[in-house]
């Protein structure tokens, strides 16, 4: 077994252990072995981080920096991310089980997000208002809020950090970032790049720990002005409760059960490939996973024949290996959830088309790509976010029917539409209750395009 690494938190420009000396272990999901320890932050540690961020906002060099200087810090961070994408990708892959080829690419690509936000720093402008009062001049000025608490999950850490702290820093805010207790190492490695990029002490702080006490103390802290959270509905409810203590502004992104709609005129090959990537990419552990597949009846059989064949050929294995196409689930708890939900779906009348079990000969949290045809929209699996490589398939007849089926969910993050009819694509995209709608593609992001949902 390799040496077990011990990490520290990044608070006020220093690398520190938890105030009580406590830590917790992180396991490599591909083999179940402990590979590192990270601090278990206390309320005292969180307070120290928030106070540091507040001082940096009010009194430190950051408070008096010109917007162009803030942009320069963000550009240096972007350059460092691109240079260190291999290291960051490898750490995230070991910690989460995501494929190295994906984590490495993401680490390099999010550098473009920070470059984009660097360019925004000196373009935040107010307005001059022609009011109805003579001899008076009125203008508005956009000002930073203060301390931003950014709470990120483990599954797309670097991307979500970029879209949370990039705009916050460009606008002149300071940040306390809470990493997921399931996989914290990549965030702490990211802290080293923050330090090297020249951000003054306290501008970005990184704490590690569980929701209680770490997350609770952070999101209810009196000096936190804004909370940005990505995660599950249960934790989100607690955060909304916590924010009553500080009246912080709150933004939530709570996952999805995204519909992937294929009409009879679609390019079948393109749609099959899009669906495969949309559900089995990242082992299905994506908030935008296309986990509800709706097929128009005339093409359903052909589509499923092709898709099942491709799913069975997916290479499962070590996420660090170039040949691997799908890695393990991040935690044993997630594995248990997937097995439980698949069993329930089959008990409710679902038809197993492929997968439905752990692959033979592999340790760790591996599960086969699974496709289940569902006779009813009311099945539990159709409206439950799985966070695993499990696809629910339903058939439809008409455009209006599939719109109603797609919107029959508490979630509204993303959707996909495959059709060669441009008028239909626009009609359906407008009718679908989702913040992001992809047409003839799936799971594509850009720093220039907004990312977020419109419900749940």
Q: How far apart are CA 122 and CA 125, in angstroms?
A: 8
For residue 101, with 0-12 CB atoms within 10 Å meaning exposed, 13-18 middle and 19 or more buried, which class applies?
Answer: middle
Q: Do the Cβ atoms of 57 and 227 come closer than 8 Å? A: no
* Residues ≥6 apart with Cβ < 8 Å to 166: 74, 113, 114, 116, 117
Of 324, 396, 325, 312, which is closest to residue 355 (Cα–Cα)? Answer: 312
End-to-end Cα separation, the chain, in angstroms? 43
Peptide bond into 213 cis (omega under 30): yes
Radius of gyration for the chain, computed over Cα atoms and rounded to the nearest angstrom: 23
Output the CA–CA distances (angstroms, integers) from residue 88 to 30, 107, 256, 360, 432, in the order listed: 18, 7, 27, 30, 36
Scored b (16 or more CB within 10 A) or e, 130-166 reads eeeeeeeeeeeeeebbbbbbbbbbbbbbbbbbbbbbb
With vertex at residue 209, the alpha carbon angle to CA 206 and CA 210, rounded to the nearest 5 degrees, is 135
So what's the pLDDT on residue 313?
Answer: 98
Q: Are strands 174-179 and 204-208 parallel, antiparallel or unpaired?
A: parallel
For residue 120, with 0-12 CB atoms within 10 Å meaning exposed, 13-18 middle and 19 or more buried, which class applies?
Answer: middle
What's the distance, CA 378 to chain centroid? Answer: 27
User: From its phi and psi, is residue 247 left (phi > 0), alpha (psi between -120 and 50) or beta?
Assistant: left
Q: Considering the domain 259-439 in this protein, what is its CATH number? A: 3.40.309.10
- Report mean pLDDT in 10-residue bins for the chain, 456 residues: 88 98 97 97 99 97 94 98 97 97 96 98 95 93 97 94 98 98 97 97 98 97 98 93 95 94 99 98 97 99 99 98 97 97 98 98 96 98 96 99 98 97 99 98 95 82
Angle between helical axes of 157-170 and 100-120 (0-180°, round to 10): 10
The SS3 assignment for 148 reads strand
What's the distance, CA 123 to chain centroid? Answer: 27
Number of H helices, E strands in the chain: 14, 19
pLDDT in tens, 65-118: 999 999 999 999 999 999 999 999 999 999 999 999 999 999 999 999 999 999
For residue 450, with 0-12 CB atoms within 10 Å meaning exposed, 13-18 middle and 19 or more buried, which class applies?
Answer: exposed
pLDDT in tens, 9-44: 999 999 999 999 999 999 999 999 999 999 999 999
> What residues are annotated to the active site?
253, 287
* Residues ≥6 apart with Cβ < 8 Å to 62: 56, 70, 172, 174, 199, 200, 202, 203
Output the CA–CA distances (angstroms, integers) from residue 135 to 128, 138, 139, 335, in the order listed: 14, 10, 14, 69
The SS3 assignment for 223 reads coil
So what's the pLDDT on residue 255?
Answer: 84
So what's the pLDDT on residue 454?
Answer: 86
* Residues ≥6 apart with Cβ < 8 Å to 13: 52, 195, 200, 201, 202
Kindly report, as residue ranges, where domains of CATH 3.40.309.10 are found in the chain. 259-439
Structure tokens at 86: 């291999």
Q: How far apart are CA 70 and CA 167, in angstroms?
A: 11
Kindly report, as residue ranges, where domains of CATH 3.40.605.10 are found in the chain. 5-253
Q: How far apart are CA 138 and CA 430, in angstroms?
A: 38
Q: Considering the domain 5-253 in this protein, what is its CATH number? A: 3.40.605.10
Instruction: Count CB atoms within 10 A of the CB of residue 20.
Output: 12
Structure tokens at 74: 């963000």
pTM: predicted TM-score of the whole model, two decimal places = 0.95
Q: Do the Cβ atoms of 218 and 178 come closer than 8 Å? A: yes
Q: How far apart are CA 83 and CA 86, in angstroms?
A: 8
């Amino acid at each position: 077994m390799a040496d077990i690494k011990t990490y520290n938190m990044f608070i006020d420009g220093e690398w520190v252990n938890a105030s009580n000396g406590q830590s917790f272990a992180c396991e490599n999901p591909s083999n179940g072995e402990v590979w590192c320890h990270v601090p278990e932050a206390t309320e005292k540690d969180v307070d120290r981080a928030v106070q540091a961020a507040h001082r940096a906002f009010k009194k430190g060099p950051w408070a008096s920096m010109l917007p162009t200087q803030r942009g320069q810090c963000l550009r240096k961070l972007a350059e460092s991310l691109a240079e260190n994408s291999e290291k960051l990708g490898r750490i995230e892959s070991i910690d989460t089980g995501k494929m190295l080829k994906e984590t490495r690419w993401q680490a390099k690509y999010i550098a473009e997000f920070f470059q984009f936000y660097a360019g925004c720093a000196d373009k935040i402008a107010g307005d001059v208002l022609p009011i109805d009062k003579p001899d008076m001049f009125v203008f508005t000025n956009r000002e930073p809020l203060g301390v931003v608490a950014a709470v990120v999950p483990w599954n797309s850490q670097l991307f979500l950090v970029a879209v949370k702290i990039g705009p916050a820093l460009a606008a002149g805010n300071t940040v306390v970032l809470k990493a997921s207790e399931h996989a914290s190492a990549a965030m702490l490695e990211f802290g080293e790049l923050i330090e090297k990029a020249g951000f003054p002490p306290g501008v970005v702080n990184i704490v590690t720990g569980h929701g209680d006490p770490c997350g609770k103390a952070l999101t209810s802290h009196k000096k936190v002005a804004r909370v940005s959270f990505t995660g599950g509905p249960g934790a989100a409810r607690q955060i909304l409760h916590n924010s009553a203590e500080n009246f912080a502004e709150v933004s939530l992104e709570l996952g999805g059960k995204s519909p992937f709609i294929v009409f009879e005129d679609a390019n079948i090959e393109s749609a099959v490939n899009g669906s495969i990537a949309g559900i089995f990419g990242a082992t299905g552990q994506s908030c935008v996973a296309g986990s509800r597949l709706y097929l128009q009846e005339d093409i359903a059989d052909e589509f499923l024949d092709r898709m099942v064949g491709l799913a069975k050929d997916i290479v499962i294995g070590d996420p660090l290996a170039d040949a691997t196409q799908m890695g393990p689930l991040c935690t044993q708890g997630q594995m248990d959830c997937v097995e439980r939900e698949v069993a329930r779906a089959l008990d409710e009348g679902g038809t197993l088309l492929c997968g439905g079990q752990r692959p033979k000969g592999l340790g760790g949290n591996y599960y086969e790509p699974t496709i289940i045809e569902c006779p009813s929209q009311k099945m539990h699996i159709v409206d439950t976010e799985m966070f695993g490589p499990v696809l629910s398939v339903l058939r439809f007849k008409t455009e209006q029917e599939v719109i109603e089926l797609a919107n029959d969910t508490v979630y509204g993050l993303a959707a996909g539409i495959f059709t060669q009819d441009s008028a239909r694509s626009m009609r359906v995209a407008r009718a679908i209750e989702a913040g992001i709608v992809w047409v003839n593609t799936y799971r594509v992001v850009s720093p220039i395009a907004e990312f977020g949902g419109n419900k749940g």
